[in-house]
């Protein structure tokens, strides 16, 4: 059973290995927007959505692709967790 914590860990791993940035797995901010941190550009978010959908076999609805639902790693993990449970 996947926990929100393990989802967070997997998202961090994905970000660090796929989006070259100055952060490491230990200091990547969990409650800030990855776009505003400069880690993702607009296409980076597209890649991230594809990653979330394929990795957890879920579908993210169009109106969920917003800053409100996906504006930080924690928010994304909650979104994924909500769909899994």
Size of the site for another protein (CB under 8 A): 27
Among 47, 56, 74, 75, binds another protein (CB under 8 A): 47
Handedness of CA 13, 25, 39, 75 (dihedral sign): positive
Neighbours of 41 (CB within 10 A): 12
Closest contact distance (angstroms) between CB of 14 and another protein is 12
Among 28, 70, 73, 76, binds another protein (CB under 8 A): 70
What is the 8-class DSSP label of residue 22? S
76: tokens are 């994304």
Q: Quick check: 43 binds another protein (CB under 8 A)?
A: yes
């Amino acid at each position: 059973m996947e926990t929100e914590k393990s989802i967070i860990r997997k998202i961090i791993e994905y970000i660090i290995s796929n989006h070259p940035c100055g952060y490491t797995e230990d200091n990547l901010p969990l409650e800030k927007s990855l776009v505003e941190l400069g880690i993702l550009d607009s296409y980076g978010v597209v890649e991230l959505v594809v990653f979330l959908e394929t990795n957890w076999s879920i579908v993210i609805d169009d109106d969920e692709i917003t800053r409100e639902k996906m504006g930080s790693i924690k928010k994304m993990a909650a979104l994924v967790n909500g769909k899994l449970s």
